[in-house]
């Protein structure tokens, strides 16, 4: 009888618990990977407050929608209003010499302190006469959509800044 087989058998039996412990650790590690990490990766960002970059992006969207409205408004203005109110909105259009009182100068800061958007919607859609002003300020409510009037007001609000820029450019040329 050789002692070898029984010795080997003993060794195997002794080692088995080590394998089992190793396998259990590995299983726990896998479980950790599956249960711990996966859901964390999938945590939706919807409930989180917006990041700084997201806030910046939203601000930019709003700014660009205002800019788009102003750009559409400028087209409306150039087509329908410029002839009286002037290319730069300063009440000096081609027709202005014939109008008394003259067309509104939109560069005038005092004017913007006096009016709000609602009043402007009214006078633009229903005409000067509707608010006790000159009949020579036409009513545009049948020509323009309400949204076009909103756009043209957005453009008119840029006139004081445009006029300042134009004046500064002229000064630096002289």
Binding site for ligand HEC (CB under 6 A): 80-81, 83-85, 95, 99, 101, 103-104, 115, 120, 123-124, 128, 133-134, 136-138, 140, 152
Give the nearer residue to ligand HEC in terms of CB position, either 136 or 162: 136
* CB of 136 vs ligand HEC, minimal distance in Å: 4
* CB of 127 vs ligand HEC, minimal distance in Å: 9
DSSP per-residue codes, 19-87: HHHHHHHHHHHHHIIIIIIHHHHH--STTSPPPHHHHHHHHHHHHHHHHHHHHHHHHHHHHHTHHHH-T
For residues 25 and 19, what is the distance between their CA atoms, to the nearest angstrom?
A: 10
Look at residues 160, 147, 164 and name the one whose alpha carbon lies nearest to residue 72: 147
Give the nearer residue to ligand HEC in terms of CB position, either 3 or 139: 139
* CB of 117 vs ligand HEC, minimal distance in Å: 10
| Contacts of residue 131, Cβ cutoff 8 Å, sequence gap at least 6 | 119, 122, 123
For residues 65 and 147, what is the distance between their CA atoms, to the nearest angstrom?
A: 13
* CB of 56 vs ligand HEC, minimal distance in Å: 33
For residues 162 and 75, what is the distance between their CA atoms, to the nearest angstrom?
A: 15
Give the nearer residue to ligand HEC in terms of CB position, either 99 or 162: 99
Give the nearer residue to ligand HEC in terms of CB position, either 14 or 113: 113
Give the nearer residue to ligand HEC in terms of CB position, either 56 or 131: 131
* CB of 147 vs ligand HEC, minimal distance in Å: 13
């Amino acid at each position: 009888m050789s002692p070898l087989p029984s010795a080997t058998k003993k060794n195997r039996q002794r080692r088995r618990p080590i394998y089992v412990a190793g396998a259990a650790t590995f299983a726990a590690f896998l479980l950790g990977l599956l249960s711990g990490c996966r859901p964390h990766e999938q945590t939706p960002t919807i409930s989180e407050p917006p990041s700084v970059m997201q806030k910046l992006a939203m601000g930019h969207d709003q700014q660009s929608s205002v800019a788009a409205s102003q750009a559409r408004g400028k087209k409306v203005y150039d087509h329908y209003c410029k002839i009286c109110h002037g290319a730069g909105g300063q009440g000096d259009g081609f027709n202005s010499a014939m109008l008394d009182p003259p067309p509104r100068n939109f560069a005038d800061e005092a004017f913007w302190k006096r009016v709000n958007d609602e009043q402007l919607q009214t006078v633009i859609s229903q005409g000067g006469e509707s608010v006790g002003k000159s009949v020579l300020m036409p009513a545009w409510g049948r020509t323009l959509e309400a949204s076009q009037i909103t756009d043209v007001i957005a453009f008119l609000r840029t006139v004081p800044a445009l006029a300042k820029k134009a004046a500064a450019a002229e000064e630096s040329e002289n």
